[in-house]
């Protein structure tokens, strides 16, 4: 409750600042208030029930503060906020919280409706209630006492909730009109205010865009499907909209999959017998194109993760089909070998994607490793991180070389062998780098020699496989870097040896040739240049006498 009261004080101060604005009108930062409240009270984790509870507590406190109670504990007396009562912007906040409470309850019911379809009727009722409260807020903001910015925000908020109602009722045209109105208002507001507020308005526009494209597709705009697929791949349309996008794209690919019967895999035809495999293979080219066009490494990593997740799901579906066929085979019916080859092909795609994903991550880490550390307290990338990535790459390549159906493909085996040598060289290089950090010079030097050995093998074998080196890191750059590192290592080892020579060794201490630093000289050595013995020699001393009890 203490956090809620702090927010009350914060919003009250915000409202007072607005009341004292130059134009003398009441103001309410509608979008900022609801966004901050949502992030602080559950919506960061999708907990709509918690946010709904917060809205109820907030309403109770506002009514108590304003003296606007609905009767007493014995009797309910309904009251309406009128324009004449607008002496304080908290009356507007009261209506806003009522709308937010109804909306959060609707979103909670939407989550529960996945398993209990009857709750969808209650969901629509609560959404309509939220839209009704937002319309009431818009009418109150039409008063001359309210400033222009609050009026526009109220209109945009009403359009958003109205669009949500029409969207759930699948009235695509009216929903699209409402969302477009909301988008237009927020874009105008973003161009008129500070950068901080503009970022908040643009964020809302980005949230609305998938809904607009989805409505356009359902109205009949076939070009919208490409935009939706791109938004899904880049992480747009999060939350519940993502489920609708997933269903829509799967539906579109299912229609195309009906005509797909086989694919080409390294010069051989593989029949595609399972619908889920067809849908995945149809989207594979789009996914790879999106990865190639990714604007930054973070987006590329997200796309790789999405592709790998789809591939794993498809492989699981094929395995379940094979299990059911195995049971049929036991009953006497023949199995289909085409589905087995589907599994091998999908496994090949998964392993190749893993190699590409880890190579992309390694490339990003290498660039960060060369950059100077901006913050010493913050842990930056280390050579050990790259070693782990190259271990995964080598493991994937080992699985590829033993993949059933490719044992007799000599060209493929040579390509995998060449790639293995390249990644072994890079792995060995970063192991050497990790030894350099702990000043193990001899071990690092031996490993650098091993890197050069691997690199020379790659150069000798690459003459017959020039096409295989296109997607691989440049070995020549690695050789130049290793040679430079070797000279640096030798210099560092010599400097380290000179420094350790100045420090007395343990053997010198044992030979009694070093003087203890804080011990006074003995009487025999006063005025003598001979050092005292460390530790001192043993001297005989009288034994402690033994006493026996007399009998």
pLDDT class for 331, splitting at 50, 70, 90? low
pLDDT class for 38, splitting at 50, 70, 90? very high
Q: What is the DSSP string of 374-423?
A: S-TTS----HHHHHHHHHHHHHHHHHHHT-TT-TT-HHHHHHHHHHHHHH
pLDDT at 217 over 60: yes
Q: Give the separation between CA 180 and CA 160, rounded to whole angstroms.
A: 9
pLDDT at 515 over 70: no
Entry pTM: 0.56
Residue 268 in 3-state DSSP? strand
pLDDT in the model for residue 291: 81
Neighbours of 390 (CB within 10 A): 22
Classify residue 109: in a domain, yes or no.
no
Do residues 277 and 342 touch, judged by C-beta distance below 8 A? yes
Query: Most confidently modeled of 20-34, 267-281, 423-437?
Result: 423-437
Do 286 and 356 have their domain in common? yes
What's the pLDDT tens digit per position in 122-165? 999 999 999 999 999 999 999 888 988 999 999 999 999 999 99
Q: Which residue has the higher pLDDT, 98 or 254?
A: 98
Do 366 and 387 have their domain in common? no
Do 366 and 417 have their domain in common? no
Q: Give the separation between CA 522 and CA 536, rounded to whole angstroms.
A: 10
Average pLDDT (44-57) is 92
pLDDT class for 4, splitting at 50, 70, 90? low
pLDDT at 526 over 80: no
Do 393 and 480 have their domain in common? yes
Do 318 and 413 have their domain in common? no
Average pLDDT (472-499) is 78
The last residue of one of the domains, among 454, 476, 496, is 496
pLDDT in the model for residue 523: 47
The last residue of one of the domains, among 454, 477, 496, is 496
Do 388 and 488 have their domain in common? yes
What's the pLDDT tens digit per position in 5-28? 555 555 454 444 444 444 557 889
pLDDT in the model for residue 54: 95
pLDDT in the model for residue 98: 94
Classify residue 412: in a domain, yes or no.
yes
Do 476 and 388 have their domain in common? yes
Classify residue 359: in a domain, yes or no.
yes
Do 437 and 362 have their domain in common? no
CA-nearest of 141, 137, 161, 160 to 151 is 141
Do 279 and 309 have their domain in common? yes
pLDDT class for 51, splitting at 50, 70, 90? very high
Classify residue 292: in a domain, yes or no.
yes
Q: Give the separation between CA 231 and CA 234, rounded to whole angstroms.
A: 5
Q: Give the separation between CA 165 and CA 163, rounded to whole angstroms.
A: 5
Classify residue 183: in a domain, yes or no.
no
Number of domains in the chain: 2
Positive or negative, the Cα torsion across 83, 87, 89, 91? negative
Helix runs in 293-336, H state only = 297-330
Do 390 and 435 have their domain in common? yes
CA-nearest of 89, 82, 81, 66 to 19 is 89
pLDDT in the model for residue 41: 92
Q: Which domain holds residue 351?
A: 260-324+342-370
Residue 267 in 3-state DSSP? coil
Using alpha carbons only, what angle is made at residue 400 by residues 472 and 449, rounded to the nearest 5 degrees? 50
Residue 269 in 3-state DSSP? strand
What is each CA distance from 315 to 261, 348, 359, in whole angstroms? Answer: 18, 11, 23
Do 362 and 426 have their domain in common? no
Q: Which residue has the higher pLDDT, 443 or 226?
A: 443
Query: With pLDDT > 90 as the criterion, what percentage of the chain qualifies?
Result: 21
Query: Most confidently modeled of 178-182, 208-212, 227-231, 479-483?
Result: 178-182
What's the pLDDT tens digit per position in 221-253? 766 656 655 555 555 545 555 566 666 666 666
Classify residue 161: in a domain, yes or no.
no
Classify residue 229: in a domain, yes or no.
no
pLDDT in the model for residue 517: 43
Do 431 and 484 have their domain in common? yes
The mean-pLDDT minimum among 31-40, 130-139, 262-271 falls in 262-271
Classify residue 273: in a domain, yes or no.
yes
Q: How many CA atoms lie within 13 A of 461 on its CB side?
A: 20
Q: Which residue has the higher pLDDT, 510 or 59?
A: 59
């Amino acid at each position: 409750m203490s956090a809620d009261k702090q927010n009350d004080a914060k919003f009250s101060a915000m409202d007072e600042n607005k009341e004292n604005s130059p134009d003398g009108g009441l103001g309410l930062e509608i979008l900022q208030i609801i966004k901050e409240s949502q992030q602080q009270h559950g919506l960061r984790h999708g907990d709509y029930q918690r946010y709904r509870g917060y809205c109820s507590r907030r309403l109770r406190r506002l009514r108590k503060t304003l003296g606007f109670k609905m009767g007493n504990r014995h009797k309910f007396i309904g009251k309406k906020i009128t324009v004449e009562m607008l002496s304080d912007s908290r009356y507007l906040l009261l209506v806003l919280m009522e709308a937010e409470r109804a909306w959060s309850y609707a979103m909670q019911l939407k989550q529960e409706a996945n398993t209990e379809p009857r709750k969808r009727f209650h969901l629509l009722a609560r959404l309509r209630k939220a839209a009704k409260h937002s319309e009431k807020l818009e009418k109150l903001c039409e008063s001359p006492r309210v400033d222009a910015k609050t009026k526009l925000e109220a209109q945009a908020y009403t359009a958003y909730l109205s669009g949500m109602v029409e969207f759930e009722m699948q009235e695509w045209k009216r929903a699209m009109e409402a969302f477009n109105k909301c988008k237009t208002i927020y874009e105008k507001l973003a161009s008129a205010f500070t950068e901080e507020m503009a970022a908040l308005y643009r964020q809302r526009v980005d949230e609305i865009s998938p809904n607009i494209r989805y409505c356009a597709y359902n109205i009949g705009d076939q070009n919208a499907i490409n935009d939706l697929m791109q938004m899904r791949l880049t992480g747009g349309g999060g939350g519940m909209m993502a489920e609708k996008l997933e269903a829509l794209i799967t539906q579109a690919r299912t229609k195309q999959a009906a005509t797909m019967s086989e694919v080409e895999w390294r010069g051989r035809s593989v029949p595609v017998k399972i619908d889920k495999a067809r849908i995945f293979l149809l989207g594979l080219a789009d996914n790879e194109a999106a990865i190639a066009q990714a604007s930054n490494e973070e987006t590329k990593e997200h796309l790789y993760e999405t592709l790998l997740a789809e591939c794993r799901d498809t492989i699981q579906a094929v395995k379940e089909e094979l299990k059911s066929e195995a049971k049929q085979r036991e009953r006497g019916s023949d199995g289909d070998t085409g589905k087995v080859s589907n599994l091998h092909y999908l496994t090949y795609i998964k392993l190749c994607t893993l190699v590409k994903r880890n190579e992309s991550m390694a490339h990003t880490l290498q660039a960060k490793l060369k950059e100077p550390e901006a913050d010493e307290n913050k842990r930056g990338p280390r050579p050990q991180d790259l070693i782990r990535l190259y271990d995964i790459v080598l493991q994937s390549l080992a699985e590829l070389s033993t993949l059933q159906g490719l044992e007799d493909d000599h060209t493929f085996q040579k390509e995998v062998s060449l790639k293995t040598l390249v990644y072994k060289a890079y792995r060995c290089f970063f192991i050497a780098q990790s030894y350099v950090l702990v000043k193990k010079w001899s071990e690092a030097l031996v490993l650098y020699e091993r890197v050069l050995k691997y690199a020379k093998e790659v150069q000798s074998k690459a003459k017959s496989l020039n096409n295989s080196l296109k997607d691989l890191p440049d070995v020549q750059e690695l050789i130049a870097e290793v040679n430079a590192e070797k000279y640096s290592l030798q210099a560092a080892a010599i400097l380290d040896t000179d420094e350790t020579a100045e420090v007395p060794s343990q053997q010198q201490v044992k030979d009694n040739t070093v003087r203890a630093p804080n011990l006074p000289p003995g009487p025999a050595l006063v005025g003598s240049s001979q050092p005292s013995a460390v530790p001192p020699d043993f001297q005989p001393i009288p034994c402690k006498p033994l006493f026996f009890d007399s009998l």
